[in-house]
Amino acid sequence: MLGQQAEAAVSAANSESAQEFKRQMYTTDIFTGENFRLTPYTTPLQLEILPGPVVSDAAIKKQLERTVYDVCMARVAKNAAIVRLGELLTVQHCERAVAQVKAMPLQRFVQRDAANVLAEWIFRVDGDNWYDFKSLLRETTNYLVKRDRELFMLRGFSPYNVLVDTLSTEDLPIVLDLVEGTVTLWTLELAD
C-alpha cells in the first residue's frame, strides 16, 4: 500500500518537456538500443513548500527529499529482490537516502551553464562514449535554454541501489519548469 502511494505521488504530474527530451535522446544520435535508461520522475511544483514568490534552493531540496523517498519506496514495494550490500532494499535505505539529500550541497544553474552541466552529467555515465558531446549539448540546450528552465544539481549523491539498479553516475539533476509547474528528477543507468 505504501509503495503504491509513493508511486502515485511520483507519477502524479506529466511533463511533456521531460518526455520530449527523453524521446530526443533516443531518436537522435545520442542513445541507441536499451543500454541507457534515462528516467524522469516528475512531480507537480509543491506550492505549499514555497516561502515566497521565488523558488528557493531550500524549497527545491525539500521537494527533492520527498521525491527521492517516494521513488525509493516505490522500488521497495515493487522489487523486493533489489539487493544492497547483501540485504533487501528497505525503508531504512530510503530514509538514509533522504538524510543524504538533506546533508549534500545543491547547486543552481541557468541558461548555457545548465545545459553544459546536464550534458557533462550524462556524458560521465559511460567512460567510452561513442556519441558526440556536441550532439548531447545541443539536446540539453534545447531542453533547458530554449524554455528557460533551471537545473539544480545535488552534488555527491549516488543513486545506485536506491533509485537505479545498474551503473550510474554520481550527482542528481533536478529540472524546475515554472511554465509547466513541475520539478523533474532525472536518473540515468548504463545497462551493459
With a threshold of 0.75, does the pTM exceed it?
yes
Task: Render pLDDT for 136-153 as a digit per residue (tens, 0 to 9).
Answer: 999 999 999 988 899 999
| Gap between the Cα atoms of 178 and 170, Å rounded | 26
pLDDT grade, residue 79 (50/70/90)? low
What cell numbers appear for 107 in the block? 547547486
Q: Which of 189, 180, 139 is nearest to 17 (CA)?
A: 180
Q: Is the pLDDT of residue 38 over 50?
A: yes
